[in-house]
Structures are given as structure tokens and as C-alpha cells.
């Protein structure tokens, strides 16, 4: 005999389950729609001709703060921003903090005081800039940041190079070049607590793991000369060292010079492909296997376009990733103009 009460309960439960399922589907669909609605790539930020004309008529002023200007990445980032700002008639106020968080804070506050129309920055310390970002929020100034979200305040988006993937790809190229299992790898890096650095380190560690290698040393410093010393010491101490991975430009230079001076055949891969790295790849005899290059010029342009899109009312996705280039001896001539447009190549 069928229990009517039980049947009723079952039916109700069934209906509730269906309702929950439907709600979940509707919610996820709307989420996907919202995600689709936001601009999530550098290409998606591109302005139409009409928007460019509109921008020119507005006479906007943007602040453009970098953590330093002493590397090719920052220099190219600024140039990318300046070139595009000039094209769309935006006045750009550029400043470098020379890796000093307090200096950057002062520069940021000065921009808020000047009531600029937008601020783009590569933060020295995303944590300490939060209070200033809040002040910009209060003044209705959109803030677009590279590297990591500030601890406080709202930004329109965080732009990042694909640090993990770039490092992983270069790491795999290194491990494949070595070609033996259990290869001993040393990593030369920078003692910066930035997310991008952590991602680069994770990328190479995963690449080493994926090919059955072994990390035997992890050294880091800010100075090129100290990095050269560290690389020399690591080579000296490990007769069976199979490869070196450098997580930033000066470490690439230092590792290359240390390997050359040692006279040993130790392949190198790294993150950051700057002029000295390109010159090495062009030399025809280099220990460098592959370098992962950030597209700084693309990011510089995206900085201006992102702020402009926010002013036009568009929503930017929480994170915008710009893909890296994998530069090798075979493709370096093609990659240089992509990475450093308008800049003479070091071998010319």
C-alpha cells in the first residue's frame, strides 16, 4: 500500500530539489553572463574610433606611476603608455618611485590632489598603497594596477603578465634541453614579496617537477653583481649542476656571465627577455635556451585603454592577463619588434 503522506513529502522534496537546481542554473548563467560582460583581455580593452574621438575631446589627464624606471620592462611599459596617450590626446603624468613605497605613496596622493582623471600604477607594495587608493575612490578617480590588488580600496582591475605560465613554459624548455631525469637545477631570483615573483617561482618548480628534476639551490638578490657572485658560487659548489633558471632580468644576465666564466656547459632559461638577453640569443653561442618575455608595450597601452573604458562606463574583469612570449635563439628576431616596438634591436 502506498503511504500518501510519504508520497506528498517525496513530491515536495522533489519539487524543492528541482527549484534549487533551476536557481543554481539561473545563477551560474547570470554569473557567466556577467563574466562575459566584463572586459578581460588587453584586446578587449581596445577603443573604437568613435571612443578615441570622444577621448580626444575630453582633455583627460592620467597619472602613470611605476615602481622604477631602471629596467627595460618599466621603460617599455612607460613608452607604451606614453605613445598611446599621445595618440588619443590624453595628458600623462609619469613618475617613478625608485622602489620606495613611501615615495610612491606621496606621488599617488599628489595625483589625487591634482584631481587627475585616472591613475595607473605598478605598485612597489600593493599592501601599503591601499589607504591612498581609498582616497582616490572617494575622489571618484579610477585606479588600475599591475601586479596585485591593494589591501584596501577598489581598483577597476588588476593587470598581470602570465607569470606562472611564462615561467613554466621556459622551465619546460630548459628541462627538455637537459633531457635527463633527476636533473639538478638552481634557481636565481629576487627577494621581492610580489605575487608575480611567487608565481614565477611556482612556475619553474612545477616545470622541474613535471620533468622529474630536482631543485638544489635557490638564491636571490637585487644587485646584478651579487647575483653574479651567487651564480658563480652555486656553479662552483655543484659539479653536477644541470641547469639554471633565472626569475628576472638581472639574474638572467648574471647566470649567463657566470656560466660563461666557468667554462662549463650549463643551459639557462629565464623570465624576462630584455636587451642583454636578446643580444646573447643573437650571438649564436649562448647557454640561454629560452626566455619568457612580458609584453610591456601591450600593458602600457592597455593601461590607458583600461582607464578610458572605465570612464566610458565599461566593466573590467577583476584580472586582465597579458600573455608572455617565449623567446629563443630561433625566433628572437621576430619577437624583438613585438616586445619592443620602435626600439632598435641590440644586434643592429
Q: Give the footprint of another protein on this chain (CB under 8 A).
A: 68-72, 74-75, 189, 191, 216-226, 228-230, 232-234, 236-238, 250, 253-254, 257, 261, 274-276, 279, 346
Question: At residue 187, what are phi and psi to the nearest 5 degrees?
Answer: -115, 130
Write the CA distances from 218 to 150, 229, 263, 298, integer angstroms.
28, 14, 22, 31
Between CA 98 and CA 96 the distance in angstroms is 6
Query: For residue 135, what are the contacts with CB-CB under 8 A and spacing of at least 6?
Result: 109, 112
Distance of alpha carbon 161 from alpha carbon 225, whole angstroms: 27
Contact 172, 209 (CB under 8 A): no
Nearest residue (CB) to another protein, 139 versus 237:
237
For residue 271, what is the DSSP state? Answer: E
Q: Name the nearest CA neighbour of 38 among 119, 161, 158.
A: 158
Q: What phi and psi, each to the nearest 5 degrees, are found at residue 220?
A: -155, 155
For 47-115, give the DSSP string: PPHHHHHHHHHHT-EEEEEES-SSSHHHHHHHHHHHHHHHHTT-EEEEEE-TT-HHHHHHHHHHHHHTT
- Residue closer to another protein by CB (options 188, 308) is 188
Pairing of strands 118-122, 143-146: parallel
Cell 643580444: give the residue.
279
Radius of gyration from C-alpha coordinates of the chain: 24
Please spell the DSSP secondary structure of 172-195, one letter per residue.
HHHHHHH--TT-EEEEEE-----H
Amino acid at each position: 500500500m502506498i503511504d500518501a503522506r510519504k508520497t506528498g513529502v517525496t513530491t515536495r522534496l522533489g519539487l524543492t530539489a528541482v527549484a534549487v537546481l533551476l536557481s543554481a542554473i539561473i545563477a551560474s548563467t547570470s554569473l557567466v553572463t556577467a563574466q562575459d560582460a566584463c572586459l578581460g583581455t588587453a584586446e578587449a580593452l581596445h577603443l573604437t574610433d568613435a571612443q578615441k574621438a570622444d577621448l580626444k575631446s575630453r582633455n583627460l589627464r592620467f597619472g602613470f606611476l611605476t615602481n622604477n624606471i631602471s629596467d627595460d620592462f618599466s621603460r617599455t611599459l612607460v613608452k607604451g603608455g606614453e605613445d598611446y596617450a599621445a595618440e588619443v590626446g590624453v595628458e600623462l603624468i609619469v613618475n617613478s618611485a625608485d622602489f620606495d613605497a613611501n615615495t610612491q605613496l606621496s606621488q599617488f596622493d599628489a595625483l589625487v590632489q591634482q584631481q587627475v582623471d585616472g591613475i595607473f600604477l605598478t605598485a612597489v607594495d600593493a599592501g601599503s598603497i591601499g589607504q591612498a587608493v581609498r582616497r582616490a575612490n572617494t575622489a571618484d578617480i579610477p585606479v588600475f594596477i599591475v601586479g596585485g590588488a591593494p589591501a584596501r580600496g577598489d581598483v577597476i582591475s588588476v593587470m598581470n603578465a602570465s607569470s606562472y605560465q611564462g615561467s613554466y613554459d621556459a622551465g619546460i624548455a630548459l628541462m627538455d634541453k637537459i633531457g635527463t631525469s633527476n636533473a639538478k637545477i638552481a634557481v636565481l631570483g629576487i627577494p621581492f614579496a610580489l605575487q608575480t615573483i611567487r608565481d614565477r617561482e611556482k612556475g619553474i618548480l612545477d616545470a622541474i617537477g613535471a620533468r622529474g628534476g630536482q631543485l638544489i639551490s635557490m638564491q636571490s638578490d637585487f644587485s646584478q653583481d651579487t647575483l653574479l657572485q651567487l651564480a658563480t658560487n652555486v656553479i662552483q659548489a655543484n659539479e653536477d649542476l644541470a641547469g639554471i633558471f633565472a626569475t628576472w632580468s638581472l639574474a638572467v644576465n648574471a647566470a649567463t656571465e657566470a656560466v660563461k666564466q666557468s667554462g662549463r656547459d650549463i643551459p639557462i632559461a629565464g623570465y624576462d627577455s630584455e636587451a642583454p638577453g636578446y643580444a646573447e640569443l643573437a650571438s649564436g653561442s649562448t647557454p640561454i635556451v629560452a626566455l619568457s618575455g612580458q609584453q610591456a608595450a601591450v600593458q602600457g597601452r592597455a593601461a590607458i585603454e583600461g582607464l578610458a573604458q572605465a570612464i566610458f562606463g565599461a566593466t573590467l574583469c577583476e584580472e586582465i592577463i597579458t600573455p608572455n612570449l617565449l623567446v629563443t635563439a630561433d625566433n628572437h628576431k621576430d619577437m624583438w619588434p613585438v616586445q619592443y616596438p620602435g626600439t632598435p634591436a641590440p644586434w643592429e
